[in-house]
C-alpha cells in the first residue's frame, strides 16, 4: 500500500485522542487522513488480557521507557513515566479504568479561561463517545464507538469495603460517571467481551477499514515544518530515513503530554531562551510549552486478609497458566478483568466543593509490577490526592528526536501536599477500621500500624508513593491573552495557523481520577473544532455537589 504523500490531514500519534480524531476526520470520504505512529501493532496477549495490565507498561516494545528526574521531596527517587508506544497509545497499556472526571474539574477549566469546556459543554462529548453496558442513564451514552463495562465484583471484599465506607459516613454511588461522583461503588472499565478495548479497537481499526484513512507505524516524528507561521508538513524518521510529508489542510498534534511539547520545542515553538540555548531557531515564543506538568501520586495501603479469599491464590505459576488458558480460549475468568472493580471519591475536608481524594480497591496486595509482598493474602487501596498544586515541566535536551526529554514533576513541592496526603492515609485507616471489614482486615502490611505521627507518615509517603501515570497539562489551553497558555479554546496552537493540538497536555488542570476518558473526550470535541463544525449543544443537566460541602467533610 502506498502512503498518502499529500493528505488533507496529518494526525501525529494514534493514542487516546489521536485515534479518536482520525476516526472523526475520516467520517467524510472527502478527507484523506494520515496517522503517524512510532509504535507498532497491539496484537499480543500481554496487551489484550486485562489482568496482565502490569506487563505492557514494563515492555520496551510498547512503552517509550521514560524516567523522570530524581525528586528531592521523594528522598531522591526517580519515578518511571510509562507512555504508550503502540497503536492506541497509552490506552493500550493503561489500567483500563474509566473515569470522566468531576463536573467541578471542567467548571474550573472554563473559569480559568478555557471557555466552552465547562461540564455542560463536555458532557455531550462523553455521551457521544461511549456505549455504556448495563448502566444506562441520562448521563451516559449508548451509541458511541467506545465500549465501557463493569466487572462482576464477585469477591466479598468489594461489598465489605463499600459497606465499611457507608459505616464511616460516606455515600454509596451507583455511577461515579453519572449523577454523583462522590462516594464509593462499582468501577467502569474499557474492557469488552473479556479484552482490553483501547482507542485502537474503538476508533482506529474501524476507521482504517475506509480507504481514506491510513496509519504509518514506526514513524518517529522529529518536527513540524512551517512556511512563515503556517504548518505545512511533518518531518519524521521511518526505517532510518528522514522523510517529509506535506499536508493540504491541517496538522493535529496528539502525541501526549510528554511528546507533544517535545515536538513543538524541536519545531521552534516554546520558550525562546530555552530553545536558543539548545541551538533551535525560534519560530514562535510560547513560554508555556512544556510547563504546568501535573500528575497524580498514590500509595498502596496494604492490609493482611484474615481469610484466604484474595487473588493471592492465583499468584503461582500453575494458576497463572490456567488463567491464561481460560482467557485465551474463552475470554473469561480472572484474566478478563483489570480487577479494579470498586472505586471511590471523597473530600478531604469541609469547605472543599468536590472530591479531592481517589480510592481504587483491589482484592489482593500487590505492586504495579506484579510482585506480591511475602505476607500472603491481603488487599489494598490505592489512595492519593487529586489536585496537587505542584507543577513540573518537560524540556528537550537537544534537537535530536531520539534523545528522551528531561521530565521533572516537582512532586510534593507545594506546602499543601503533605497535609492532604496524610489526611488521605488517616481517612483510609478510619474506613478500614469499620465493622464491615472486621472479619477480613488484619494488621497493615504498609504503612504499618505503628506509623501514626505526621513525620512517620510523611517519610512513608516520600519512600513509597507511586505515580498513577496521569501526566498532563504541558500545553495548557485557555485564553490567548494569557502568556502561560499554548492552545486556544478551539485547540489551535497560539500564533500559528493550520496546527491543532489535542491530548491530555492541553488540560488546564488535572481532572479527578484516571485520564483516559477525558483524553478521548478531548479528541471528540477537538475534531468538531478542526472540521469547523458547530459544537454539540450544551447539556441542561445540573451537576451534583454535596448539599452541605461548606460545613461537612462527608
Which residues, 6+ apart, have CB-to-CB distance to 116 below 8 Å?
Answer: 110, 489, 490, 535
* Pairwise CA distance, residues 144 & 126, whole Å: 9
**369 pLDDT exceeds 80?**
no
As a whole number of angstroms, the longest Cα–Cα distance in the chain is 69
**368 pLDDT exceeds 90?**
no
Residue 231 is predicted with a pLDDT of 98
Ranking 66-80, 356-370, 525-539 by mean pLDDT, the lowest is 356-370
Residue 135 is predicted with a pLDDT of 86
**414 pLDDT exceeds 70?**
yes
Residue 367 is predicted with a pLDDT of 79
Using DSSP, state whether 227 is helix, strand or coil.
Answer: strand
* Pairwise CA distance, residues 388 & 381, whole Å: 19
Q: Any idea where the domains of the chain sit in the sequence?
A: 1-70+77-147+188-293+471-531, 152-186+297-385+412-464
**Which residue, among 301, 105, 98, has the nearest Cα to 186 in the 3D structure?**
98
Average pLDDT over residues 492-518: 98
Q: Are the C-beta atoms of 514 and 97 separated by less than 8 Å? A: yes
**pTM of the full structure:** 0.98
Which residues, 6+ apart, have CB-to-CB distance to 160 below 8 Å?
Answer: 436, 437, 439, 440
Q: Which helix (H) or strand (E) holds 425?
A: helix 417-432
Cα 34 from chain centroid? 24
* Pairwise CA distance, residues 433 & 440, whole Å: 10
Q: Are the C-beta atoms of 258 and 68 separated by less than 8 Å? A: no
Grid coordinates standing for 136? 444506562
Average pLDDT over residues 45-64: 94
**522 pLDDT exceeds 70?**
yes
Strand order in the sheet with 241-246: 219-227, 230-238, 241-246
Using DSSP, state whether 343 is helix, strand or coil.
Answer: strand
Tens digit of each residue's pLDDT (9 = 90 or more) over 35-48? 999 999 999 999 99
Average pLDDT over residues 444-456: 97
pLDDT class of 321 with cuts at 50, 70, 90: very high
Q: Are the C-beta atoms of 378 and 362 separated by less than 8 Å? A: no
Q: Are the C-beta atoms of 237 and 219 separated by less than 8 Å? A: yes
* Pairwise CA distance, residues 326 & 222, whole Å: 43
Share of the chain above pLDDT 90, in %: 96
Let me know if domain 1-70+77-147+188-293+471-531 sits in CATH 3.50.50.60: yes
Please confirm, yes or no, whether 382 is among the known catalytic residues: no
Average pLDDT over residues 329-351: 97
**1 pLDDT exceeds 70?**
no
**Mean pLDDT (the chain, rounded):** 97
Average pLDDT over residues 101-115: 98
CATH of 152-186+297-385+412-464, one of 3.30.43.10, 3.40.50.2300, 3.40.30.10, 3.30.410.40: 3.30.410.40
Tens digit of each residue's pLDDT (9 = 90 or more) over 139-183? 999 999 999 999 999 999 999 999 999 999 999 999 999 999 999
Active-site pick, 158, 377, 382, 470? 470
pLDDT class of 527 with cuts at 50, 70, 90: very high
* Pairwise CA distance, residues 492 & 480, whole Å: 10
Residue 373 is predicted with a pLDDT of 72
Residue 2 is predicted with a pLDDT of 84
Amino acid at each position: 500500500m502506498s502512503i498518502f504523500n499529500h493528505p488533507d490531514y496529518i494526525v501525529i500519534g494514534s493514542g487516546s485522542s489521536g485515534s479518536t480524531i482520525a476516526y472523526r476526520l475520516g467520517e467524510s470520504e472527502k478527507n484523506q487522513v494520515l496517522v503517524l505512529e512510532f509504535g507498532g501493532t497491539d496484537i499480543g496477549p500481554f496487551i489484550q488480557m486485562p489482568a496482565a495490565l502490569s506487563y505492557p507498561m514494563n515492555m520496551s516494545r510498547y512503552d517509550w521507557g521514560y524516567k523522570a528526574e530524581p525528586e528531592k521531596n521523594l528522598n531522591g527517587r526517580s519515578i518511571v513515566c510509562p507512555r504508550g508506544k503502540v497503536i492506541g497509545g497509552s490506552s493500550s497499556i493503561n489500567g483500563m479504568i474509566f473515569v470522566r472526571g468531576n463536573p467541578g474539574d471542567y467548571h474550573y477549566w472554563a473559569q480559568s479561561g478555557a471557555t466552552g469546556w465547562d461540564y455542560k459543554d463536555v458532557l455531550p462529548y462523553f455521551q457521544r463517545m461511549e456505549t455504556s453496558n448495563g448502566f444506562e442513564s441520562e448521563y451516559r451514552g449508548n451509541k458511541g464507538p467506545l465500549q465501557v463495562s463493569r466487572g462482576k465484583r464477585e469477591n466479598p471484599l468489594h461489598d465489605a469495603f463499600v459497606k465499611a465506607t457507608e459505616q464511616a459516613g460516606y455515600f454509596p454511588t451507583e455511577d461515579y460517571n453519572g449523577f454523583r461522583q462522590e462516594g464509593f461503588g462499582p468501577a467502569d472499565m474499557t474492557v469488552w467481551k473479556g479484552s482490553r478495548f483501547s482507542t485502537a479497537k474503538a476508533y482506529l481499526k474501524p476507521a482504517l477499514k475506509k480507504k481514506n484513512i491510513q496509519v504509518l507505524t514506526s514513524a518517529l516524528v522529529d518536527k513540524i515544518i512551517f512556511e512563515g507561521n503556517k504548518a505545512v508538513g511533518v518531518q519524521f524518521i521511518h526505517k532510518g530515513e528522514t522523510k517529509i510529508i506535506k499536508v493540504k489542510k491541517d496538522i493535529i498534534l496528539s502525541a501526549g503530554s510528554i511528546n507533544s511539547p517535545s515536538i513543538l520545542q524541536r519545531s521552534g515553538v516554546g520558550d525562546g531562551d530555552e530553545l536558543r540555548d539548545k541551538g533551535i531557531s525560534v519560530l514562535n515564543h510560547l513560554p508555556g510549552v512544556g510547563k504546568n506538568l501535573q500528575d497524580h501520586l498514590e500509595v498502596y495501603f496494604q492490609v493482611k486478609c484474615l481469610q484466604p479469599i484474595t487473588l493471592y491464590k492465583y499468584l503461582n505459576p500453575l494458576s497463572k497458566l490456567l488463567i491464561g488458558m481460560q482467557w485465551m480460549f474463552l475470554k473469561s475468568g480472572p484474566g478478563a478483568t483489570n480487577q479494579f472493580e470498586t472505586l471511590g471519591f471523597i473530600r478531604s475536608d469541609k469547605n472543599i466543593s468536590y472530591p479531592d481524594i481517589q480510592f481504587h480497591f483491589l482484592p489482593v496486595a500487590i505492586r504495579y509490577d506484579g510482585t506480591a509482598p511475602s505476607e500472603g493474602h491481603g488487599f489494598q487501596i490505592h489512595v492519593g490526592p487529586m489536585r496537587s498544586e505542584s507543577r513540573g515541566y518537560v524540556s528537550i535536551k537537544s534537537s535530536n528526536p531520539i534523545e528522551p526529554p528531561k521530565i521533572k514533576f516537582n512532586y510534593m513541592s507545594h506546602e499543601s501536599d503533605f497535609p492532604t496526603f496524610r489526611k488521605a492515609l488517616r481517612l483510609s485507616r478510619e474506613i478500614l477500621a469499620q465493622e464491615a471489614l472486621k472479619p477480613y482486615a488484619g494488621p497493615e502490611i504498609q504503612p504499618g500500624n505503628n506509623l501514626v505521627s505526621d513525620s512517620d507518615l510523611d517519610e512513608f509517603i516520600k519512600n513509597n508513593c507511586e505515580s498513577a501515570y496521569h501526566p498532563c497539562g504541558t500545553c495548557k489551553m485557555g485564553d490567548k491573552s494569557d502568556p502561560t497558555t499554548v492552545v486556544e479554546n478551539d485547540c489551535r496552537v497560539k500564533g500559528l495557523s493550520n496546527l491543532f493540538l489535542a491530548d491530555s497536555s492541553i488540560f488546564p488542570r488535572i481532572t479527578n481520577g484516571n485520564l483516559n476518558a477525558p483524553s478521548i473526550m478531548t479528541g471528540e470535541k477537538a475534531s468538531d473544532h478542526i472540521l469547523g463544525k458547530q459544537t454539540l449543544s450544551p447539556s441542561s443537566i445540573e451537576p451534583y455537589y454535596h448539599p452541605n460541602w461548606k460545613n461537612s467533610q462527608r
